[in-house]
């Protein structure tokens, strides 16, 4: 049996006191009824005895009065004295007009006051007197009889009985004593032969006194037992209510999104198990919430980074568009200017000047074409459609052949070409390779002060060759060395360039299976190193 069941058993025992009390109440009613019934029987017996006594006494009085009446003819005074001696309750008697009294001396002319037979009046003491009158051949007798002495024996019955004598019409003729204590009275009446009624009564409080006392004692015991039985019930209620209250408060915390502190285990075992389960659940819920918060935080961070990146890209694209516009507009402006100058009718240009003007127009057109090619290559590379047409290429010969064009690109910068005689043959697309080299040289020339040298070199490297372009410019911070290859990225908003030159360069290198890196040059400035695989070496095994 669990503790909870045990406590419920105690509570049930306490509840059982109620039926016990009901049983006691029913028992009390039954006992009271039986007690009253017995008392009624006793009262009825007493009333019967009293009625018989009264009837006997009335019969005796009648007999005496009739005897006196018979004697009245001889000596009325003597007859009256005999009656007084024979009947203690006789107060005064008048026999043929001669009055005799028990308590006073009768004078001449004294007589009983007129009153009908059977009437009752009070004397000077407040005692009721019954008038009796009878007649016979000898004369007429009238008498006043005291009723109280007749009822005096009732008091000897005991138990606080009260007797009352009622005459015709229910008139109270006599009573045995005072009214008695207030409250309900148990009474019974007995009718006499002459129509009178004798009532014997008993105060219920006095009658049931012992029963009341026993009842009070029993009720006190029941109350005590009820109180004693209530204690386990109270403990049971507390043992259940306290953990339930703690659970409710903790659940409220959970509902409000707060992490409740662990609930102390209390109450019966069942409640403790529930608290343990709740604590585990709250702990797991807290862990899940924490993980979710971490994931959200990480995701938010990622989204913030992506947003920043997108914003940067957008800014780069804006700058790119501005730069591209500038890059495209500059050669177009030169071309339009020289072309307009040539067509001017007001100037007579010399042939040399015309050729020089045309050379500039051609150069700017080439420059414009490269920019457009770069854009197209970048777009293709973005779509993964950058197509190469590799051909066996003698790297040394090809580089030497590009020297004039490179110097033209690096206008304002002395450009030197340092080639190792052992350069391998490459499998490369010459147009893309030129685009790569032109971008590197043009980038070096754009971001270095005018007059600073630019060095292009090439030497064999494991699996291929290494190509380098070095300048004496301000250099690139280490944090930016990787990012300068990102499309539209421009370093510190430096003027010039579209921001896709180095991106196109890396796409071309990677399309050839090579690698590109930027590092600080030994003499200061920036060095871009490109590794390209030799012909027949598809694997990326080169170092650098």
- Binding site residues, another protein, CB under 8 A: 78, 81-82, 85, 88-89, 101-108, 122, 124-127, 148-149, 152, 155-156, 158-160, 177-181, 206
Phi, psi of 133 (to 5 degrees): -140, 140
Provide the minimum distance between the beta carbon of 181 and another protein in the complex, in angstroms, as a whole number. Answer: 7
Report the largest interatomic distance among the alpha carbons of the chain, rounded to a whole angstrom: 211
Bridge-based pairing state of the strands 415-419 and 454-461: parallel
Q: Please, which residue, 179 or 264, has the CB nearer to another protein?
A: 179
- Where helices occur in 98-257 by DSSP H, the ranges are 148-155, 204-207, 209-255
Give the residue with the Cβ less far from another protein, 155 or 412: 155
- Tokens 């047409």, located at residue: 389
Shortest Å distance, C-beta 145 to another protein: 12
Q: Which is nearer to another protein, 89 or 94 (CB)?
A: 89
Q: Which residue, 182 or 451, has its beta carbon nearer to another protein?
A: 182
The nearest distance, CB 161 to another protein, in angstroms, is: 10
Report the half-sphere exposure of 341 (CA within 13 A, side-chain side): 16
Q: Which residues lie closer than 8 Å to 117 by C-beta, 6 or more apart?
A: 131, 132, 133, 134
Report in angstroms how near the CB of residue 274 gets to another protein at its nearest: 55
C-alpha 510, offset from chain centre:
64
CB of 78 to another protein, least distance (A): 6
Nearer to another protein, 85 or 284 (CB): 85
Q: For residue 366, count CB atoms less than 10 angstroms from its CB and return exposed for 0-12, middle for 13-18, buried for 19 or more.
A: middle
CA dist 483 to 250, 364, 476, 492, Å?
53, 30, 10, 12
Distance CA 381, CA 485 (A): 14
- Residue 25 vs 85, nearer CB to another protein: 85
Distance CA(69)–CA(95), nearest Å, equals: 7
Nearer to another protein, 82 or 504 (CB): 82
Q: What DSSP line would sit under 260-318, residue for residue? A: PPPPPP-SSHHHHHHHHHHHHHHHHHHHHHHHHHHHHHHHHHHHHHHHHHHHHHHHHHH
**Angle value at C-alpha 330, between 328 and 335, nearest 5 degrees:** 100
φ/ψ of 117, rounded to 5, equals: -65, 135
In whole angstroms, the minimum distance from the beta carbon of 148 to another protein comes to: 7
Q: Smallest distance, Å, CB 82 to another protein?
A: 8
- Shortest distance in whole angstroms from residue 147 CB to another protein: 12
Q: Which is nearer to another protein, 108 or 113 (CB)?
A: 108
CB of 83 or CB of 508, closer to another protein: 83
Cα torsion 151, 155, 159, 164 to 10°: value is 20
């Amino acid at each position: 049996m669990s503790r909870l069941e045990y406590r419920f058993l105690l509570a049930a025992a306490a509840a059982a006191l109620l039926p016990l009390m009901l049983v006691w109440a029913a028992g009390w009613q039954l006992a009271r009824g039986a007690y009253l019934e017995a008392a009624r029987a006793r009262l009825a017996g007493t009333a019967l005895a009293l009625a018989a006594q009264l009837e006997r006494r009335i019969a005796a009085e009648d007999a005496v009065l009739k005897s006196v009446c018979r004697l009245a003819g001889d000596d009325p005074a003597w007859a009256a004295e005999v009656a007084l001696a024979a009947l203690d309750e006789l107060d005064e008697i008048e026999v043929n007009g001669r009055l005799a009294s028990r308590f006073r001396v009768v004078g001449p002319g004294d007589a009983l006051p007129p009153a009908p037979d059977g009437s009752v009046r009070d004397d000077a003491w407040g005692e009721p007197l019954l008038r009796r009158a009878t007649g016979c051949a000898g004369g007429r007798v009238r008498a006043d009889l005291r009723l109280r002495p007749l009822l005096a024996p009732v008091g000897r019955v005991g138990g606080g009985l009260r007797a009352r004598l009622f005459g015709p019409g229910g008139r109270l003729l006599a009573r045995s004593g005072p009214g008695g204590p207030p409250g309900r009275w148990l009474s019974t009446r007995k009718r006499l032969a002459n129509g009178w009624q004798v009532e014997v009564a008993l105060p219920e409080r006095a009658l049931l006194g012992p029963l009341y006392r026993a009842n009070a004692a029993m009720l006190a015991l029941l109350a005590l037992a009820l109180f004693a039985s209530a204690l386990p019930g109270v403990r049971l209620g507390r043992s259940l209510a306290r953990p339930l209250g703690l659970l409710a408060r903790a659940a409220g915390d959970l509902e409000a999104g707060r992490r409740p502190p662990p609930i102390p285990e209390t109450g019966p075992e069942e409640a403790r198990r529930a608290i343990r389960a709740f604590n585990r659940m709250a702990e797991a819920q807290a862990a899940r919430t924490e993980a979710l918060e971490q994931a959200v935080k990480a995701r938010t961070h990622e989204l913030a980074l992506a947003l920043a990146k997108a914003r940067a890209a957008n800014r780069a694209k804006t700058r790119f568009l501005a730069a591209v516009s500038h890059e495209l507009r500059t050669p177009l402006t030169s071309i339009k200017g020289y072309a307009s100058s040539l067509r001017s009718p007001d100037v007579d240009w010399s042939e040399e000047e015309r050729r020089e003007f045309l050379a500039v127009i051609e150069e700017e057109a080439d420059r414009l074409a490269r920019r457009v090619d770069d854009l197209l290559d970048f777009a293709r590379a973005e779509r993964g459609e950058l197509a190469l047409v590799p051909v066996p290429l003698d790297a040394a010969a090809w580089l030497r052949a590009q020297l004039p064009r490179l110097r033209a690109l690096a206008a304002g910068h002395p450009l030197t070409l340092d080639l190792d005689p052992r350069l391998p043959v490459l499998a490369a697309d010459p147009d893309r390779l030129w685009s790569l080299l032109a971008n590197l040289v043009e980038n070096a020339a754009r971001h270095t002060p005018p007059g600073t040298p630019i060095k292009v070199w090439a030497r064999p490297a494991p699996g291929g060759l290494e190509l380098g372009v070095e300048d004496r410019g301000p250099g690139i911070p280490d944090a930016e060395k990787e990012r300068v290859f990102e499309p539209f990225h421009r370093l510190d908003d430096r003027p010039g360039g579209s921001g896709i030159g180095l991106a196109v360069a890396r796409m071309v290198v990677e399309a050839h299976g090579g690698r590109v890196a930027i590092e600080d040059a030994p003499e200061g400035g920036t060095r871009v190193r490109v590794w390209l695989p030799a012909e027949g070496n598809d694997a990326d095994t080169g170092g650098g």
